Amino acid sequence: MARKFNFSAGPAMLPTAVMERAQQEMLEWNGSGMSVMEMSHRGKEYMSIATKAEKDLRDVMSIPDNYKVLFLQGGASSQFAMVPLNLLGDKDSADYINTGIWSKKAIAEAKRFCNVNIAADTSGDGFTTVPTQAELKLNPDAAYVHYTPNETIAGVEFDYIPETGGVPLVADMSSTILSRPIDVSKFAMIYAGAQKNIGPAGLAIVIIREDLLGKAAEKTPAMFNYKTHADGGSMYNTPATYSWYMAGLVFEWIKEQGGLTAMGEVNHRKADKLYAVIDSSDFYANPVPTNARSWMNVTFTLADPELDAAFLAGAAENGLITLKGHRSVGGMRASIYNAMPEEGVDALVAYMQKFEKNQR
Ligand SMILES: *Cc1c(COP(=O)(O)O)cnc(C)c1O
C-alpha cells in the first residue's frame, strides 16, 4: 500500500511524519497507558497536549498576547453565524467583500443578523479576480469588515490585506492559514476550518483580539459565544480532543520545517511551477490574473473538455488523485497545501507535460 499525491481541497493531505507519529502514539500516549482519544480533556496529560498545541501555534504565527486562540467545533461554517452574533455589538450593519462561493455563504448567514453592505463583488467576472483597495466601498460605521483571503473553489487569493480605517477586519483563512507568514495584528479576528492546512475536519481555530469579546447579542447560545470559550480555555464542553492533538502535531511539524517563512518559500515555488506549465501552452488555461492567483488551490482547464476524463484517469494511474475541479466551476483543481510535498507538484507537472505531448 502506497500513499498517493492527493490534491483534494479538503479534507486534504496531512504530513506523513505527522501521521506516523500519531500512529506510534495511537494506542498509548507517552507512558499514560491510554490513547489521546480516551483521555479526560481536563486531565494533566491532555492539558499538556492542548497547552503545547496553542503555544506552538502562537509561536509559528507570532500571535500577539492580546489575542485569544480558540479551538472550536462546527468547522468554519459555524463561524459564518458566530461572527455577526458576537461582533455586531450595538451596530446593525457589517461590510462583506464578495469574492466567491465561501464569501457568499458567509454573507447569506450574516443576513439573518444584520444589514450586509457588499463592499465589493466580483461575481461579474465569474469570481476570477480580487477587488483593489480603491474599489472597496467600505462603510465607516460598519461593525466589521469580513473577507475571504483565499477562495478555495475558484483559486483566487488577495495579494494585500484590506485597509479598513480602524473598522475590525475579519478573515476566513480556512484555505490559506499557515501557508506563509502573516501579520496577525492587522486583523481583529481570523478563523479557519482545520481540514485544509491544520488537521482533521470538524475543528475550527479562531484567533480573536481580546477587546472584541463580551459583546455578543443577549440571546447568543453559550456554545456560540466566543467569550464562553475564551473564559473556559476552549473547554466549556468537551472539545474535539483528538483533532486538537493532531493540529498540535502539525504545528510542531511546521516548526521543524523552519516555520512559516520556510513554508511560504516552498509553497510559492510549488504554485509557480504549476502556473508556469499552465501558462506555457494553450493546451491548459487559468483565467485568474497573476496577482490574484492562489498559492494553495491551482485551478486549470483543458482547451478540450472532452479530454477531462482521460486526463483524470491517467493522473490517477500515476498516483495523482482528486484533481477534478469543484462541480460549480468544472475543469481541474490541484490543492497544494503545506502537506503536499514538492515532489507531488513535480510529478503533476511531469504528467501534465506528458499528457499534452501525447495528444498532439
Ligand atoms: C472549506 C472552507 C470552508 C468550510 O469549512 P467547514 O469546516 O466545512 O465548515 C469555509 N471557508 C473556506 C474559505 C473554506 O475553504
Is residue 311 pLDDT above 90, yes or no? yes
pLDDT tens digits, residue range 268-284? 999 999 999 999 999 99
Q: What is the pLDDT of residues 157-170, one digit of tens each?
A: 999 999 999 999 99
d(CA 86, CA 79): 10
Catalytic residue IDs = 102, 172, 196
Delineate the domains of the chain, giving CATH numbers in brackets. Answer: 16-257 (3.40.640.10), 259-359 (3.90.1150.10)
Ligand 1 centroid distance, CA of 43 (Å): 31
Reported pTM = 0.98
Q: Is the pLDDT of residue 327 over 90?
A: no
How many whole angstroms from 283 Cα to the centroid of ligand 1? 31
**Percent of the chain residues past pLDDT 70, beyond the cut:** 100
pLDDT at 2: 87
Cell of 282: 494553450
For residues 66 and 75, give the distance between their C-alpha atoms in angstroms, rounded to a whole number.
24
- Each residue's pLDDT tens digit, 69-101: 999 999 999 999 999 999 999 999 999 999 999
> Whose Cα sits closest to atom 3 in ligand 1?
76
CB atoms near residue 143 (< 10 Å) = 25
The answer to whether 346 and 319 are in contact (CB under 8 A) is no
Q: What sign results for the dihedral spanned by CA atoms 185, 191, 193, 196?
A: negative
Q: What is the dihedral of CA 160, 154, 63, 19, to 10 degrees?
A: -150
pLDDT in tens, 170-227: 999 999 999 999 999 999 999 999 999 999 999 999 999 999 999 999 999 999 999 9
Q: Which residues line ligand 1 (CB under 6 A)?
A: 10, 75-77, 102, 148, 152, 172, 174-175, 193, 196
CA of residue 121 to ligand 1 center, whole Å:
19
Residue 75 CA: nearest ligand 1 atom is: 7
Half-sphere exposure in the Cβ direction for 252 (13 Å, CA): 16
Candidate of 83, 175, 191, 295 to mutate for ligand 1, largest count of ligand atoms within 8 Å of Cβ:
175
Residue 31 CA to ligand 1 center (angstroms) comes to 36
Q: How far apart are CA 121 and CA 275, in angstroms?
A: 25
